Structure 1
């Protein structure tokens, strides 16, 4: 009896097929939202590590608890300024990398 081979796909191939290829608007939006979701999770993890409630963090940053909740669930509506304030209030270091083609831009 012959065995059937199962075709396997990489995550990249699945994204290309179901979301869109790299460089398309749909794929760019997906990747952006994914990064914002990860950023929100990092904010929540740092807040919990500091044993702060959302309300306490909001007071440190100067925003309402609801704003912290929104940041943690999806940071895509936040400004860079707000994100920097949040991490400063958490006494957490944050680094940004800017990559142009194959080169990283260093801030001096």
Structure 2
């Protein structure tokens, strides 16, 4: 008896994201990419804090906030100002580089 093997179609991660989330530039894909970047930022803060052998409470004291705010920041950076992020990385003695990308869509100035 001959068994049939099902051929699996190989897809890249970008192809899977395009299929499941929409292509780059669609609202769903943009939200996904933004949320992912914010999660990575929180993980980076936690990682650098631990590398510097600081507790959440100690980092909070360095920038003038409570431990609970550092905990929230490490879990969810969506509602944080750039100023706060710069304060945190400044207290951690870590350099931060931001890049700004311009969309090619039309805009008008009124």
User: Where on the TM-score scale, by shorter chain, does this alignment land: which range?
Assistant: 0.7 to 0.9
Question: Could you list the runs of 5+ residues in structure 1 that have no partner in the other structure?
Answer: 103-108
Mapped to 1, the partners of 2:44 and 2:63 lie a distance apart of 16
Normalising to structure 2: TM-score of the pair? 0.85
Mapped to 1, the partners of 2:25 and 2:102 lie a distance apart of 15
CA offsets per residue over residues 34-85 of structure 1, 9 Å max, x none?
0000000000000001100001100101111111111111211111000000
Normalising to structure 1: TM-score of the pair? 0.86
- Hey, what does 1:12 align to over in structure 2? 14
Q: Could you tell me which of 35, 54, 57 is aligned with 2:56?
A: 54
- Superposition pairs of residues 1-108 of structure 1, within 5 angstroms: 3-100=5-102
Compute the RMSD of aligned alpha carbons.
1.7
SS in 1 for 2:101: strand
SS in 1 for 2:14: helix
Question: Could you list the runs of 5+ residues in structure 2 that have no partner in the other structure?
Answer: 105-110
Q: Higher strand share goes to which structure?
A: 1
Mapped to 1, the partners of 2:6 and 2:27 lie a distance apart of 37
